[in-house]
Structure 1
Amino acid sequence: MTARLVRTLTAAALALGAAACSSSSGDPLAADGGSAKPADGRTVVVGSANFPENVLLASIYSRALKAKGVKVEEKFNIGSREVLYGQLKSGSLTVLPEYNGALLAYLDPKTTAAGTEAVDAELGRKLPAELGILDPAAAEDKDSLTVSKETADRLKLTSVADLAGKAGDLVVGGPPEFKSRREQQFKDVYGLTFKEWKPTADTTANALKDGTVQVGNVFTTDPRIVQLGLVALADPKNLFSVQNVVPLVNKAGVDATATAALNAVSAKLDTAGLTALMKRVAVDKEDPSAVAADWLKTNGLG
C-alpha cells in the first residue's frame, strides 16, 4: 500500500461521504470482503506503549483527531508491543504510534527489508487483515547500542562491531523485552554474547552514565545522549532497521476523517522536530499533552 493510494482513497471517501469503507483489497482501511465499518461517530481509542516518546506521539494523535471532531478515548502507558499488538488486533485499541522497522521485526524476526518503502510494503503483506499502517512520518527514532564516552574511549568503540571480543565483560541494559527481542540477533549478526542483560527501562541513559550498565539500548531521539555525553555506536550491519514513526490502526475503527488527521501529522513530523519535543518531555519534564498541543498549534493542526 503506497502513501499515494492511501491519500487517493481517503479523498474519494470524503467526496462521497461514504458510510462504509471500500471493499477494494488495496484499501488499508477495508477488512476482508469489505466488512469493516468506519468510525461513524464511535469512539477512537488511542493507545501508547509505556515510554515517554510513545506517550507524546499518542498525545499528538489524540489531539489531532479531536481537532477534527473525532471522539477519542486515551489509554496511554499500557506496556510493550507484545501487549499492545493483541489489544489493537482485537479492537480494544484503535490507533497506536508505531515504528515501522521495529514492528516488522516483531512480525518477522528474519526480515531483510531495508528502507522505508520496502519495510512498509513488507508490513502490508505481514500484518493481519484487521490491521493497517497509514502514512509514515519522516521522523525516525532508531534503537541504538549506546555507551558512555569513557567506555567508548577505553575500549576504542565506534560501532557495534567493535564490541566483538569485549561484550563478554559488559552488562547491557534496556527495556525488559530487549533481551528476548535482540539477544539472538546480536549473536547471529555480530557474534556478541554479553555478560549480563539488565532491565533498565527508560533509565538506560542514566544507567550508562553512572556505570550500572556499560552498554545500553537508547533511542536515537533521546536528548540525554547529548546531555550526558553518551556515544551511540554505528550499526554497519543494519541490525536496527529504519524506524519511521507510523500510525498503526485497527481498520474497522477509523474512517476517512480520522485517516486524514493522522496522515496530516505524519506529513509534518520530522526527526529534528521530534528530538526537540523529546527534550521538553524527557529533560525539561513538561507534560506530554501540553507539548503535543503546542506542536499541533505551531503546525496548524490543532
Structure 2
Amino acid sequence: MTPDSPTHGPTGADAAGAPRASRPSVRRRVLTAAAVAGASALALTGCGLQPAASFVPGAAPGSIQRIDDLPDDAHLTVTSKNFTEQLVLGKIAVLAAKAAGFDVTDETNVPGSVAVRELMTSHGADFTYEYTGTAWLTFMGHEQGIPDKTEQWQAVKQEDAGNGLTWLEPAPMNNTYAFAVRDEAVSELGDVQTLSDITKLPLDQRTFCVESEFNSRADGFKPMLEKYGLELGGSGENGVPTSNVSILDTGTVYTATDRGKCNFGEVFTTDGRIKSLGLTVLEDDRGFFPAYNVAPVIDSATLREYPQLRDVYDQISPKLTDAVLQELNRQVDVEGREPADVAFDWMVREGFITKP
C-alpha cells in the first residue's frame, strides 16, 4: 500500500461531459468543498489532530504568467490528502493557480484518498494531484497495477474521462514500493544496484526488513521474490529463509535498514528518510511494482472553461522527480518546516513564481 492507499474506494462516480449549465455552479461547488473540509476538520479534531493551516504565501508571476483575459471572479478549488507529500503538492498547486490569477480556495489536508476522490467526482473541487496506481487499483477497482508508467497513466486517463476528470501529463516521480540499501553497503555487497543483483548474493546476505502488510499482501513480498527467482522460506541456492526476514513497523524499517539490521529494507520511493538516512533505492529491473506516478487531475468542465491551466501545470510536472520530492518531504518531516513554505521556496527557486 502506498502512503495514501485506503482499504477501499468509492463505488460510484458522476457522469462525464455534462453541459456546464447542468453542473453545480462555482458557488455551489465551493460550498460543497467547504462542507466536506469542515467535516474533515471535525474528524481530525476528534482524533486529537489539527488540520494544516490553509494559508500560503502570496505568489507573483514568474514563468507562470497571469492568464490573459482571465475574469476577475475566476475561481479554483484545490484539494489534497493529509500526508506530507500531498500537502506539499497541494500547496504547489495553490501557488501556481494564484500566480495564474485565480482566486483560490485551499481545501488541502483532507483525510484520506476516498474523501478527496469524492470531492473530485462530485465536482466539489477543481484540482488535485493523484497517483496513477491509487486511481487504478483503489478507485477503479482493478486487481493488478500496470508497471509501465506511461501505460498506467494512459489507462487511468481514459477511464476517468468518463467521470468528468482530465489527467494531465504525469510527473517523473513514482511513489511506489521499492527496496533500499544503506549507501555504505552498496560496495560491500558487490555494487548492488538492482533487485536482480540480490539473487547473486550468498544466502546469508539476503536479509530483509519489511512491514507486516507488505509481507502478507497477495501482491507483496513473496510474489516479488518469486518474480526475481527467489523462494521465501527456501534454504537452497535461490532461497530466502524466514529467519532472514524481519517484520517491523513501517517507520522502523528505515532506521533498521540504516543501522544494518538487514541489508534490504522496504521503502516508498519518495520518502524523505531515504535521503536523510543515506539509503540507495534499488532498481526494480523486472518491473514488479505498479506505477504510482503523480499527475494533475482537473475537473474537465473547469479545464474547458480555462484551457490555459494545462500549460500552467504541465510546466511544473517535469520538475517533480523522486529526488525532488524526497528533499521536499525531508524538509517537512525531518526539519519540521511548514509544507506551504517548502512549496513556496521551491517554486521561487525553480522560477515558476516570484515573491510579491
Same fold (TM over 0.5): yes
- 1:125-150 CA distances to partner (integer Å, 9 max, x unpaired)? 33372253432244423422113346
Tell me what 2:195 maps to: 160
For residues 265 and 184 of structure 2, the distance between their equivalents in structure 1, rounded to whole angstroms, comes to 14
For residues 251 and 167 of structure 1, the distance between their equivalents in structure 2, rounded to whole angstroms, comes to 51
Aligned-residue offset at 1:192: 5.9
Residue range with higher mean Cα deviation, 139-148 or 105-114:
105-114
Query: Taking every aligned residue pair, what percent have the same amino acid on both sides?
Result: 23
Structure 2, unaligned runs of 5 or more = 1-13, 31-75, 233-241
| Aligned residue type for 1:173 | E
User: What SS is found at the alignment partner of 2:129?
Assistant: strand
| Aligned residue type for 2:341 | A
Tell me what 1:15 maps to: none
Q: 1:131 to 1:148 in 2, by over 3 A?
A: farther
Tell me what 1:31 maps to: 16
For residues 175 and 103 of structure 2, the distance between their equivalents in structure 1, rounded to whole angstroms, comes to 31
Aligned-residue offset at 1:56: 0.3
For residues 204 and 311 of structure 2, the distance between their equivalents in structure 1, rounded to whole angstroms, comes to 44
- The answer to whether structure 1 residue 70 and structure 2 residue 103 are counterparts is yes
Match of 2:211 among 173, 190, 197: 173
More helix by percentage: 1
Listed as ranges, the matches of 1:49-64 within 5 Å are 49-64=81-96
Residue pair 1:200, 1:207 contacting (<8 A) in 2 also = no
Aligned-residue offset at 1:112: 4.2
Aligned-residue offset at 1:235: 0.7
Residue pair 2:90, 2:129 contacting (<8 A) in 1 also = yes
For residues 131 and 215 of structure 1, the distance between their equivalents in structure 2, rounded to whole angstroms, comes to 42
Q: Aligned pair count?
A: 269
Q: 1:274 to 1:236 in 2, by over 3 A?
A: same
For residues 291 and 264 of structure 2, the distance between their equivalents in structure 1, rounded to whole angstroms, comes to 21
Residue pair 2:153, 2:170 contacting (<8 A) in 1 also = no
- The answer to whether structure 1 residue 245 and structure 2 residue 277 are counterparts is no
For residues 128 and 231 of structure 2, the distance between their equivalents in structure 1, rounded to whole angstroms, comes to 33
Tell me what 1:268 maps to: 316
User: What SS is found at the alignment partner of 1:127?
Assistant: helix
For residues 106 and 120 of structure 2, the distance between their equivalents in structure 1, rounded to whole angstroms, comes to 14
User: What SS is found at the alignment partner of 2:103?
Assistant: coil
User: What SS is found at the alignment partner of 1:218?
Assistant: strand
Aligned-residue offset at 1:255: 4.3
Tell me what 1:141 maps to: 174
Listed as ranges, the matches of 1:1-302 within 5 Å are 31-34=16-19, 37=23, 40=26, 42-43=29-30, 44-67=76-99, 68-76=101-109, 78-79=111-112, 81=113, 84-91=116-123, 93-101=125-133, 103-106=135-138, 107=140, 108-112=142-146, 114-116=148-150, 118-127=151-160, 129-143=162-176, 144-149=178-183, 157-163=192-198, 170-173=208-211, 180=217, 182-183=219-220, 185-186=223-224, 189-190=227-228, 193=232, 195=245, 197-200=247-250, 204-210=253-259, 215-251=264-300, 254-256=302-304, 260-261=308-309, 263-269=311-317, 270=319, 271=321, 273-298=324-349, 299-301=351-353
Q: 1:47 to 1:293 in 2, by over 3 A?
A: same
How large is the Cα RMSD of the aligned pairs? 4.1
| Aligned residue type for 2:196 | A
For residues 288 and 183 of structure 2, the distance between their equivalents in structure 1, rounded to whole angstroms, comes to 22
Residue pair 1:139, 1:244 contacting (<8 A) in 2 also = yes
For residues 141 and 168 of structure 1, the distance between their equivalents in structure 2, rounded to whole angstroms, comes to 25
Residue pair 2:80, 2:86 contacting (<8 A) in 1 also = yes
| Aligned residue type for 1:110 | Q
Aligned-residue offset at 1:296: 3.3
Residue pair 1:179, 1:197 contacting (<8 A) in 2 also = no
Q: 1:167 to 1:186 in 2, by over 3 A?
A: farther
| Aligned residue type for 2:276 | Q
For residues 17 and 214 of structure 2, the distance between their equivalents in structure 1, rounded to whole angstroms, comes to 32
Tell me what 1:23 maps to: none
Q: 1:192 to 1:256 in 2, by over 3 A?
A: farther
TM-score by length of 1: 0.67
Aligned-residue offset at 1:282: 3.8
Q: 1:61 to 1:233 in 2, by over 3 A?
A: same
Aligned-residue offset at 1:98: 1.8
